[in-house]
Structure 1
């Protein structure tokens, strides 16, 4: 297999999804970090959307984290998807929902007014409650086997863990099943190693620079 390269920004949760998948499946991937605020010209030339993640493999450019994860999964059996078509569709739907939760979480983290903080805090809590209602299995989303849904949600839980110290309440108070799932994922080696060693400090500094209401 030709070398695979993943182009990344060191705080991006979507990139982290793909890193988790590669680590969990022991796929050798070279990670190249760029500054997304000042991306190099070569990156803009190859990224159709000007966003990370971008994967280069087999002479092709692949973008969008869910698509990258599908590719990584297909080239390294056994699959991290369920066996049946309907369960695969179910899992893909919840991966998309996870993407919307990443966005809501970002807006909560970077909200610079109390009004916006309260708005996106309510949005995050509502979406966590939606996940709580669908969770039926342990320890992972589908039961005993780690899946691409787990890879998609782990970055959310890592950021919520860091945001928790700035919130005056337990964000998982009404969602104990989600909390258990989060703890399971955060304990995985593939999740812990999916970010740079200084991630916590980088994330906190990012919040401060963004004028986050939470860290004022």
Structure 2
């Protein structure tokens, strides 16, 4: 699982570099790239719990961006609960016999 975590963090670091110091990928305004990427937020939070890592620790600017996006009602109401995704991941792992 550690190899997968390192790979995911590598991708997230690329996104963080593209974000830079801007509040959103489009600069000051929430745009299409933000919409496309924030859809993965709940999954990433679930993976953090499952694999015991922290996006905030490794990609603080990206974590801040996600927090900013989640303050938007249109985003927070549209995304699934990360706890439900985590529970589904655990159930899938048990059903398929996936172990570390």
Give TM-score, length-normalised by structure 2: 0.76
- Find the counterpart in structure 1 of residue 89 from structure 2: 207
SS in 2 for 1:194: coil
2:40 is matched with: 156
The count of residues paired between Structure 1 and Structure 2 equals 97
Q: What is the rounded CA distance, in whole Å, between the counterparts of 2:88 and 2:66 in structure 1?
A: 23
Q: Give the corresponding residue for 1:75.
A: none
Flag as ranges the 4+ runs of structure 1 deviating above 4 A.
Answer: none
Alignment match, 2:14: 130
Larger Rg: 1
Separation in 2, partners of 1:143, 1:132: 13
Greater relative CO, 1 or 2 (CA 8 Å, sep 6+) = 2
Q: Structure 2, unaligned stretches of length 5 or more? A: none
- Point out the structure with the larger helix share: 2
Counterpart Cα distance in 2 of 1:209 and 1:163 = 14
Could you tell me how far 1:137 is from its partner in structure 2? 4.2
Q: Which has the larger share of strand?
A: 1
Check whether the contact 2:42–2:79 (CA below 8 A) recurs between aligned residues.
Answer: no
CA contact (8 A) 2:22 2:28 kept: yes
Contact map agreement 2:18 2:25 (CA 8 A) in 1: no
Distance 1:202 1:132 in 2: 26
- Any idea what SS the aligned residue of 1:127 has? helix
Q: State the alpha-carbon separation in 1 of the partners of residues 30 and 56 from structure 2.
A: 22
Q: Gapped runs of 5+ residues in structure 1?
A: 1-116
| Distance in 1 between residues matched to 2:31 and 2:66, nearest whole Å | 14
